[in-house]
Structure 1
Amino acid sequence: MAKRVRICCINKTDRRSAHERIKYVGGVNLDGTRWRLSVEKIIRDLESREWEYYVEESGVTAEVIVATDGRHKYIKTTVDGIQPNTLLSLPECP
């Protein structure tokens, strides 16, 4: 069974394209310590099916998935269109 982790924050780049706008995502472990991983690592984790990531906002849970613009892979949630708006609305990771 895949390990399930909540994403609570992101670090953005100054890029505009969907596959380059988010560089890192992060969250909080059960012991209160923070974690932060690159988008490339999240994509590998999702494709291996070893890990599942999600975002929870206003009581709504959205799964994080791998998307592609035809040439590049990026992450977004199941409730987003082309742009990863749900992830982009998260606060910046410290």
Structure 2
Amino acid sequence: MAKRAQIKCINKNDRYNPYERITHVGGHVTSQWKITLDDAIARIENGEWEFFVGGGGLLTPEVNVIVAESPHGNKYLKTEADDREPNNLLSLPECP
């Protein structure tokens, strides 16, 4: 069974392309964690982890993070469609 973790922060590079912008995701359960984008994608694809954002009640419901592929074939993370703006992941604070 996959472990489930809330993403609470991200690191971004200075690119404007949303498919290439996030470099790391992180959070904390019993201790702080941060992993690369490629590591997060691999953990989702091999069924080891499931990630989500939000989970703070009605104003910020829990939304699953999934792997998507850009038109150019680059894999990236995004949230499932929830009709909310701004982008759930790109609006998270920077990880330390």
* TM-score in terms of structure 2 length: 0.85
* Structure 1, gaps ≥5 residues long: none
* Structure 2, gaps ≥5 residues long: none
Which AA in structure 2 matches 1:12? Answer: K
Once the two structures are superposed, what CA deviation does each residue of 1:25-59 show, in whole Å capped at 9, x if it has no partner? 100122xx211000100000010011100001542
Match of 1:9 in 2: 9
Asked if the contact 1:80–1:86 (Cα under 8 Å) also holds between the matched residues in 2, the reply is no
Tell me how far 1:8 sits from its aligned partner.
0.3
Runs of 4+ in 1 over 4 A off after TM superposition: none
Q: Counterpart of 1:18 in 2: which secondary structure? A: coil
What is the RMSD computed on CA atoms of the aligned residues? 1.7
Aligned equivalents of 1:39 and 1:12: distance in 2? 10
Identity fraction in percent: 49
Aligned equivalents of 1:73 and 1:19: distance in 2? 8
Higher strand share: 1
Aligned residues: 90
Match of 2:32 in 1: 34
